[in-house]
Structure 1
């Protein structure tokens, strides 16, 4: 009893000694576990904001985390003082597998800068092969529409088909080719990716994030993450070896080829981050983010449009007017389709794909809003609190395209629209995702009438899982050719 009391008093002394933002008093070892409901961490954090303000501190186990909410505060982290919060924060379940390598999950700033600069230039100018990114997306949209036609108006789960299309676009970019929709390797990759993200966002994943040292040795669903990531790393390693055997330095076909060429050029540079470990990890991280972000958003999009048939009807009308039914949509069409553009933006805002944001870390000891925050402190910029900030959106908690339309029905931008963050460390594929969402979603609506066996008023569009990501409940629908 005496030892427990001493531990409790010393912990409280340590907690009070630091001049961190206010927050609930943590317990020794457990931290604020009791205030963060398993499987409901997003709502738990937003409830704490009501008591402690826009910026507060919680303890994940014995580790302090600064939670930042609201548009102005989050923008300060991402943009106004972006360099102070530029390091990647801890995500233990991914850190265990990636071991600080790759572009997305490294806290090594020099590594991040080298890899990001290279990846941005490679994907932006995409002088790989003879086809643009838009060509690849249009090709996959045509294939996806053909697959939906094969269903012959039967009830199907659209997620399966959409995931194949999203996966193939990234396949094409990083490995140089797409796969047949029934290819076993493609299906395995999709299964591993979906399992990893859904488990990471579940209560099991949240428990691991709070107590990684203990949970590592405890059986449970969180162990599936490590199995899936190991299989995915092996898959990427195999594909890299395939590229090596057929590499033509004068004609790079994809991201992997470009990285291999860069590795050869920098092999005598001892400070170079272009080596095989970073190639494999970076490729998987780009692949991972590209597949899950697009497939989840598109799957959620169709469910929301089924829920709001009046919105769907207006999109149909605008597509028929601007594009017609005989050609594939192209990204330039978006400028002439303000309502459709507003709907896609509103879907992204409403579904709130990454509600907690991806954690950041302070790069030095800083003073923030009168508080002292040490270097390497984890920070959660809560994107959910921005996308549903009532000071930024007229209809913050409901789906309404008017959030992105002016009084004349024209599309209006909103600086608080940051579904994939903003600033120097914004999602690498943010522009790719926007292009995919427009071309693929418009292609589907252009070619089909969407029907649900459940009346619109009975469709549930609340997330099935909400944690690291928000995932829609499984549903079935029919695609009736127009």
Structure 2
């Protein structure tokens, strides 16, 4: 009995000591967290972050672009947050965003990284690469896209050939309502495929679909709270099930598809006669085998191709979906576009890029779709390469910067009717097309989208071809909704439409 009491007393002391040690450990972590994230003098104001989780609680993950724009009303056009493990500064309005993206581009060209990005793409390719490797990869990508027709008549032919396949698929619906996302995503992806893989894929090709589906899913998952938590507690989240595991699985599937295509290219690759982007990259790997810091190797090729598909497929296809939504929502605008198409192009031939200069109203409508669709509302984050001063605030090196493009595309000082769908935002008093300086949906400066020229060609040729051939309308008895889903891109909620032949 005495021994039992002694044992219980010892256990009680140990338990008390353990609680004290645990409490001291928690206090130590809290103090360390506070010191590590202590704001420097003259740092932009912002809501107080909670220990470890930062300002996740301040954001509505279903519409963070709107939430951040509202926070600027409270804290000013430059304010700070802590998102995951990253100290973050959000910049608003055209004037300040332009300073970050273009005027002080050398300071703000970095890309932030976290454990999610390190695991998905290992910060290779173009989009999330940095330093010397990024410059080499971007230069190669831009030059190779030009070599394979971006901005040239030869690419117009490829786009219109793909439209013919798309046109036939739509005709097969016999005018019944359908969800256009599947067709549009496949068609836009095939334009990229023609340059990257040297061929297109049938819309029924299951391997092709198994690559496109995960890309769309991953872009939606990438902004979830689960991914934010993974950035903060990667070692804990690795042990737990959840959407973060699906995200990694999606990218694994896409990279497996790309690797298969690369292996096929190796089998009949002739360096002197490049057929596509992959052939050119394989040649570059051979040329730079002793120049490792440039990042040209097989793994780098996979991530370069992944960049092209994410940037070149999702944004353009989403913009076209928004175009369908707005044409159904505003049939009077659709009619005016069709009148201009009939006048300039007619019905007997397909549109070409040279028609655009004679079609100011159609061009204005396409640009207004891009503005109101706001497909990449928070741009792609930047990071400061050095300590700097922005609008009087001190921003340390390594700070994540979010250029809030929503605040730019709806800036009340830059647009005639910022919150209404109105093609007059891009037309002067003479009815001529005129692009305001605040129209930067592709970002700006040294990190602007390298596929902008391709996207502009696709949007004009696909959009005018659709409205030349069809009238778009919602299914009978339904109303067109402007509701959206937030991911890396801002897309319309799933909808159905009727394509009625004209």
Give the conservation status (yes or no) of the 8 Å contact 1:90–1:359.
no
Q: Write out per-residue CA displacement over residues 60-104 of structure 1, whole angstroms, 9 at most, x where no aligned residue.
A: 144310111110010000001011000112365333211111111
Give the conservation status (yes or no) of the 8 Å contact 2:53–2:84.
yes
Distance in 2 separating the partners of 1:378 and 1:104: 15
Q: Write out per-residue CA displacement over residues 191-231 of structure 1, whole angstroms, 9 at most, x where no aligned residue.
A: 11111112224454455456555444432223211101001
Instruction: Calculate the TM-score normalised by the size of structure 2.
Output: 0.90
DSSP 3-state at the match of 2:447: coil
- CA gap of 1:404–1:366, structure 2 versus 1, over 3 A, is same
- CA gap of 1:127–1:57, structure 2 versus 1, over 3 A, is closer
- CA gap of 1:357–1:210, structure 2 versus 1, over 3 A, is farther
Distance in 1 separating the partners of 2:369 and 2:476: 20
Mapped pair 1:476 → 2:499: no
Report the Cα offset of residue 338 of structure 1.
Answer: 0.3
Q: Which has the larger radius of gyration?
A: 2
The equivalent of 1:43 in structure 2 is 66
DSSP 3-state at the match of 1:372: strand
Report the Cα offset of residue 367 of structure 1.
Answer: 2.2
Q: Write out per-residue CA displacement over residues 417-459 of structure 1, whole angstroms, 9 at most, x where no aligned residue.
A: 1112010110111111111011011111111121211568x32
Give the conservation status (yes or no) of the 8 Å contact 2:108–2:385.
yes
DSSP 3-state at the match of 1:222: helix
Report the Cα offset of residue 341 of structure 1.
Answer: 0.3
- CA gap of 1:476–1:206, structure 2 versus 1, over 3 A, is farther
Mapped pair 1:93 → 2:116: yes
DSSP 3-state at the match of 1:348: helix
The equivalent of 1:466 in structure 2 is 486
Correspondence for 1:102 among 125, 131, 135: 125
Correspondence for 1:82 among 96, 105, 108: 105
Distance in 1 separating the partners of 2:48 and 2:153: 57
Give the conservation status (yes or no) of the 8 Å contact 1:89–1:358.
no
Instruction: Calculate the TM-score normalised by the size of structure 1.
Output: 0.94
Mapped pair 1:285 → 2:307: yes
The equivalent of 1:322 in structure 2 is 344
The equivalent of 1:260 in structure 2 is 282
Give the conservation status (yes or no) of the 8 Å contact 1:87–1:363.
yes
Gap regions ≥5 residues in structure 2: 1-22
Distance in 1 separating the partners of 2:411 and 2:477: 30
Give the conservation status (yes or no) of the 8 Å contact 2:133–2:295.
yes
Distance in 2 separating the partners of 1:454 and 1:402: 30
Distance in 2 separating the partners of 1:150 and 1:120: 37
Q: How many residues align?
A: 478
The equivalent of 2:18 in structure 1 is none
Distance in 2 separating the partners of 1:415 and 1:283: 31
Distance in 2 separating the partners of 1:141 and 1:436: 10
Distance in 1 separating the partners of 2:186 and 2:85: 41
Distance in 1 separating the partners of 2:170 and 2:394: 56
- CA gap of 1:95–1:442, structure 2 versus 1, over 3 A, is farther
The equivalent of 1:377 in structure 2 is 399
DSSP 3-state at the match of 2:243: coil
Gap regions ≥5 residues in structure 1: none
The equivalent of 2:251 in structure 1 is 229
Distance in 1 separating the partners of 2:423 and 2:258: 40
